[in-house]
């Protein structure tokens, strides 16, 4: 995934979401990008992409702890809400929009 295609997709998706504040670029290098998206309902989403290692990571963080994540390190897998230490393998790549939809659903159901 090229950063120049990845970044606009994440920003557009976050802006359309009712739970996301404005995405903030934390680190930006030629082949690496790290974003932070504060959530109106508490917590934040971290987004990381590295073109060299072909790594993508999405994480929902609450109280300084990962509560849910999906990443491509060692193959696509999910760290589920009920136990973020687990690595549940996935059969395909996950988009930021799909990840965010899961976070939105979880937060709305938890209210």
Per-residue pLDDT at 4: 86
Here the tokens at position 2 are 């090229």
Model confidence over 55-91: pLDDT tens digits? 999 999 999 999 999 999 999 999 999 999 999 999 9
Q: Do residues 20 and 100 touch, judged by C-beta distance below 8 A?
A: yes
Model confidence over 3-16: pLDDT tens digits? 888 999 999 999 99
Per-residue pLDDT at 37: 98
Per-residue pLDDT at 1: 60
Per-residue pLDDT at 70: 98
What is the sign of the dihedral through the CA atoms of 5, 57, 41 and 79? Answer: positive
Pairing between β-strand 32-38 and β-strand 88-89 as defined by DSSP bridges: unpaired
CA distance readout (Å), 16 to 2, 10, 62, 78, 89: 22, 10, 21, 24, 28
The DSSP bridge partners found for residue 45 are 37, 60
């Amino acid at each position: 995934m090229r950063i120049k295609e990845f970044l606009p997709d994440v920003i557009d998706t976050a802006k359309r979401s009712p739970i996301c504040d404005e995405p903030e670029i934390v680190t930006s290098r030629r082949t690496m990008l790290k974003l932070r998206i504060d959530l109106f309902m508490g917590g934040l989403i971290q987004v990381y992409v590295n073109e060299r290692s072909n790594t993508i990571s999405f994480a929902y963080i609450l109280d300084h702890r990962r509560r849910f994540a999906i990443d491509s390190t060692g193959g696509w897998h999910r760290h589920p809400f009920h136990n973020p230490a687990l690595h549940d393998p996935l059969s395909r790549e996950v988009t930021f929009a799909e990840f965010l939809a899961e976070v939105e659903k979880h937060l709305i159901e938890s209210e």
